[in-house]
Amino acid sequence: MEGPSGSVVDVKIGELADLACVSAKTVRYYESIGLLAEPARTASGYRDYDSDAVQRLRFVRDAQATGLSLAEIASVLELKDTGSTSCSHTAALLERHMTELDEQILRLQQAREDLATLAGRAAALDPSSCTDPNRCQVITSVSS
């Protein structure tokens, strides 16, 4: 929860999840794979997170929103945990994702062109001439 000065004070797992806009299950998963350190426990066994956990969890959430995988996020956090700068590493990861996205866009554009060709063929065909019992005359190789 936020203290009087607006800073985050120790919170339980549900509060942490709410502050980072993720589920408690996600918090436990991130702990299990090492993205989030296992917190201190209260006398009754409840997880007790500090403000660093809130900030780290928000970073993981935001990094995922950019398209980085959990493994890639872990590699950034490992650098941070050792006191190294991570900007050039993160920039390289983002560049690689942009290149992959550009390639995917090209593949999708080609797939759309292929579908448009098939749709045009479908519009021009006479359904009564479809006599093959094993296939539809619309679905043929686009290059045919």
Does a structural domain hold residue 129? no
| pLDDT for position 107 | 98
| pLDDT for position 5 | 47
Contact 34, 71 (CB under 8 A): no
| pLDDT for position 47 | 85
58 and 4 assigned to the same domain: yes
pTM beyond 0.85, yes or no:
no
CA atoms 113, 116, 122, 123: torsion sign = negative
56 and 112 assigned to the same domain: no
| pLDDT for position 142 | 58
pLDDT in tens, 108-128: 999 999 999 999 988 988 888
65 and 89 assigned to the same domain: no
Does a structural domain hold residue 6? yes
| pLDDT for position 139 | 84
- Structural domains counted in the chain: 2
**Domain, as residue range, for 97:** 85-121
Element at 132 (helix H, strand E): none
What is the rounded distance in angstroms from the CA atom of residue 72 to the CA atom of residue 97?
Answer: 11
